[in-house]
Amino acid sequence: MAYKTAVAEGILVTVSRDVSHGEKVREGQDRARAAGVHVGRPSRITPRVLELARALVDGGASVRGAARELGVPISTLHRALRGTA
């Protein structure tokens, strides 16, 4: 019976540690966002690539063709051109 109690206590400690770690990570991310730091994956579309894509599309190229030419995913380029990237 003592073994089961020790195992249960070990599991609780592990779960508790995981939860407190997650909370600390979230708090750190919130502080970074408040300081104006980008949190998350870097964008595949730089301002220069977006400028080139707009020029290509305005010049008559399809979004698919512009994406292929610039080496970025089509959906990513669509989002950037819509302004939601």
User: How high is the pLDDT of residue 71?
Assistant: 95
pLDDT in tens, 12-60: 667 666 667 888 889 999 999 999 998 888 888 999 999 999 999 999 9
pTM exceeds 0.75, yes or no: no
Separation in Å, CA 23 to CA 13, 50, 59, 73, 75: 15, 36, 49, 34, 33
Q: Which two tokens stand for residue 10?
A: 């070990």
Question: Of all helices (H) and strands (E), which one includes residue 10?
Answer: helix 2-34
Reported as a pLDDT band with limits 50, 70 and 90, residue 6 is low
Helices vs strands, H then E, count in the chain: 4, 0
